[in-house]
Structure 1
């Protein structure tokens, strides 16, 4: 899974918003499932739990992402926090979400603390919701 920055990172301060589902919610149950899935994904990343992390993604992303994230987890110790979760578009088998996420470096290797806008695409694989794609934009450094 690739991360793309669509705008240059900038150093600014942010007010952290409270967790919660906002936006164009048409099915509260599915919205909550995707919210919980993203929380599970970020917690797995914070815990360097590659199996749980991979389980949150579409099956076509498993092999490549496992290789990339194993190296990443070996290099960095980070804490990831979901700050906001706004549904941009919700359909029966797909959902586009704009989320604010905070990443704090807890390790010794150089990695800048930041808040980023993450655009997640969730899709149903069979009966289960999975993260299909994530695009990062508007990264603001907070250190």
Structure 2
């Protein structure tokens, strides 16, 4: 019994603490921000959370070879392939969080990359949380909102 308890304790000691969530580089996190269709920000006392909806274009090429070509020598292959090209847009929902003490930098980034984009023309930005009230003047001045 004592050996079993010791073994369990050893495993617990050897086990590392889980790593915290590591966000990719800033550019990677906001890679589809220019394609944002909807945008919201929740400003809390310690964390600010951003959610935005964007579209991502995907292109795919598929090959449909002639089944009679399967037994042919590849060097004698005549190009009778059929290629099919498909392009479609998928929706993607993004979540980003950061410390509220960096709200100035965040608003500068949003102003530079989102506010003047064609996708946001005539759209509103939703802001919630106590910080939305606390930083209302800063948000209005940085983003040019009324």
Report the TM-score when normalising by structure 2: 0.27
* More helix per residue: 2
Report the TM-score when normalising by structure 1: 0.27
* More strand per residue: 1
